[in-house]
Amino acid sequence: MTTAKPLRADAQRKRAALLAKARETFDAGTFFDLRFDDFAGLAGVGVGTLYRHFPTREALAEAVYHEEVDALCGRARELGDALPAAAALASFVRGYVDYLDAHSGLARTLATLMTTRSDTLAEGSQALERAVLDLVEAAVRDGGIRQDADGGAVMMALHGIGAAHDRPNWRSEADGLVTLLLDGLSPQP
């Protein structure tokens, strides 16, 4: 198996600039309004650089998706290392809702683009689920949440919250559901 050569510093900066612009257009809901070549100009790089890093719009979206999933999983690990297990889980769940709120355009755009890339979605979903399951399992072991707590159920709740994002009072309802979820995970007397 061959591994990709690490990118030079200038190539890393250009790739990062392309990803940042794509992320901005996702959040703004303008990803589909742009010609693919327009991403190069917005990021301040040449069209050749765009195609060298991302030969298609889908490849660009996939790279953003992987970075976002990696960041969420990294956040789960950081919280798990820094806080008591139940507090880490609660902080991650609340932070996930904050993330969904701040990046609703990104989530919708990625969902639209990735429908043909179910392998990519499955891989990212599995990584995120593993991060949540690790938090739940640690909190169960520590006695910070119920012994019968199910990480899969926590993931279902998070998926449901994300899927309902277009509801008019989504944020307050999502916060209320998270409170119910966390209260329901509390150890029973």
Three-class SS of the chain: CCCCCCCCHHHHHHHHHHHHHHHHHHHHCCHHHCCCCHHHHHHCCCHHHHHHHCCCHHHHHHHHHHHHHHHHHHHHHHHHHHCCHHHHHHHHHHHHHHHHHHCHHHHHHHHHHHHHCHHHHHHHHHHHHHHHHHHHHHHHHHCCCCCCCCHHHHHHHHHHHHHCCCCCCHHHHHHHHHHHHHHHHCCCC
**Do 92 and 163 have their domain in common?**
yes
Window from 9-18, 81-90, 113-122, 145-154 with minimum mean pLDDT: 113-122
Nearest in space to 157 (alpha carbons), one of 184, 178, 129, 173: 178
- Say yes or no: 31 and 66 in one domain: no
Assigned token pair, 78 = 């950081």
Q: Dihedral of CA 95/128/23/113: which sign?
A: negative
* 85 shares a domain with 36: no
Confidence of residue 1 (pLDDT cuts 50, 70, 90): very low
* Number of domains into which the chain is organized: 2
Task: Give percent of the chain above pLDDT 90.
Answer: 56
- Pair 80, 41 in one domain: no
Alpha-carbon Rg for the chain, nearest whole angstrom, is 19
Q: Do residue 43 and residue 65 come from a single domain?
A: no
Residue that terminates a domain, selected from 36, 55, 74: 55
Alpha carbon 100 to its chain's center: 8
| pLDDT at position 9 over 60 | yes
Question: Domain containing 2: what range?
Answer: 1-55
Query: Is 80 found in the same domain as 150?
Result: yes
Residues 83 and 133 in one domain: yes
Residues 65, 119: Cα–Cα separation, whole Å: 12
Do 76 and 27 belong to one domain?
Answer: no
The CATH number of whichever domain residue 18 belongs to comes to: 1.10.10
How many Å apart are CA 39 and CA 185, to the nearest integer? 44
Q: Which tens digits make up the pLDDT trace of 95-138? A: 999 998 988 777 666 666 555 556 766 787 889 899 999 999 99
Both 160 and 138 in one domain: the answer is: yes
Q: Are residues 119 and 164 in the same domain?
A: yes
Is 171 in the same domain as 82? yes
Whether pLDDT at 7 is above 80:
no
